[in-house]
């Protein structure tokens, strides 16, 4: 067996999940037996103390790992990806969740799947991420990074909201709707798909703008270059029940006249898949195509 390029592997898992505990213990024991140094974050340390490894911060994991293994579901990987995006470390997911668009090593094939990867038998994909900033009175009050999507949406009310959209400084439209999804190709099979958006191939340098329940039926999703700069303005029509949410995991309340700028993030996400990975097969299985 040739020497693995992954000499140090970081393990990140979902909190309070007995399945993660079993998988982390199994995987940690296997990797240690392969003379691979493992780093674990607090989530794995809490649920798998049998590994007898002191936990470290995700910053240390990002700085010192050659590969990161995420144990959980797509949501766990999204959270880990945002934490690791600046470190240029490839990530692979073990699927203990439901859909598994991003985490594609089956829970029944953990050792076999990881063994092939550390032997160099894998595919690598580069996925773009989004960066957003919220400005209020010319001051940035909130910013973040998203692998799936940035969503501006109503909450706690039944009426529509009004948003003005500009792309690369050019006015596009002012729409009345329940909100707007700005999606990466990775996120095109998430909330954007439910909103009627297109499925984008994961490695495309593109993003989709998908209106949520627009008042005007001709207001359709559009696909633009991921190198474009998007600006969304919350119109001043007494709108106090609007939020921005990213990757469905974090949110911030918006007010009238807030400006949201969205663009491609300066770093990409590297995902590793088993050699036999086929994106179209994933779509057929997860979306139950014929």
For the chain, the C-alpha Rg in angstroms (whole number) is 20
Task: Provide CB contacts within 8 A for 263, sequence distance 6+.
Answer: 130, 131, 132, 228, 229, 230
d(CA 132, CA 141): 11
Q: Of 17, 41, 74, 258, which is the active-site residue?
A: 74
Order of all β-strands in the sheet with 130-136: 139-146, 130-136, 259-264, 230-234, 161-167, 170-177
Is 41 assigned a catalytic role? no
Q: Which two tokens stand for residue 261?
A: 């700028």
CA angle (50, 52, 56) in 5-degree steps? 120
Measure the CA–CA gap between 234 and 259, rounded to whole angstroms: 7
Give the DSSP letter of residue 267. Answer: S
Cα 269 from Cα 62, distance rounded (Å): 13
Q: Which residues are designated catalytic?
A: 74
């Amino acid at each position: 067996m040739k020497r693995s390029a992954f000499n140090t592997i970081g393990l990140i898992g979902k909190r309070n999940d007995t399945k993660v505990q079993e998988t982390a213990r199994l995987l940690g024991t296997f990797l240690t037996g392969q003379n691979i140094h493992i780093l674990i974050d607090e989530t794995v340390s809490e649920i798998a103390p049998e590994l007898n490894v002191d936990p470290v911060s995700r910053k240390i994991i990002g700085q010192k790992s050659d590969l990161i293994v995420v144990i959980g579901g797509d949501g766990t990987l999204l959270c880990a990806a945002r934490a690791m995006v600046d470190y240029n470390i490839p990530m692979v997911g073990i699927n203990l969740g439901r859909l598994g668009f991003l985490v594609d090593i089956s829970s029944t094939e953990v050792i076999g799947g990881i063994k092939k990867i550390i032997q160099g038998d894998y595919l690598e994909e580069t996925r773009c991420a989004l960066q957003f900033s919220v400005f209020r009175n010319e001051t940035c009050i909130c910013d973040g990074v998203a692998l799936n999507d940035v969503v501006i949406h109503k909450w706690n009310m039944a009426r529509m909201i009004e948003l003005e959209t500009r792309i690369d400084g050019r006015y596009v439209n002012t729409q009345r709707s329940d909100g707007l999804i700005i999606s990466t190709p990775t996120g095109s099979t998430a909330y954007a798909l439910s909103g009627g958006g297109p499925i984008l191939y994961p490695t495309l340098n593109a993003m989709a703008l998908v209106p949520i329940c627009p008042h005007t039926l001709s207001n359709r999703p559009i696909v633009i270059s991921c190198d474009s700069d998007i600006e969304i303005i919350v119109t001043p029509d007494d709108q106090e029940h609007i939020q921005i949410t990213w990757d469905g995991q974090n949110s911030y309340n918006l007010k009238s006249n807030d400006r949201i700028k969205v663009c491609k993030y300066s770093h990409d996400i590297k995902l590793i898949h088993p050699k036999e990975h086929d994106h179209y097969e994933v779509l057929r299985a997860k979306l139950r195509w014929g």
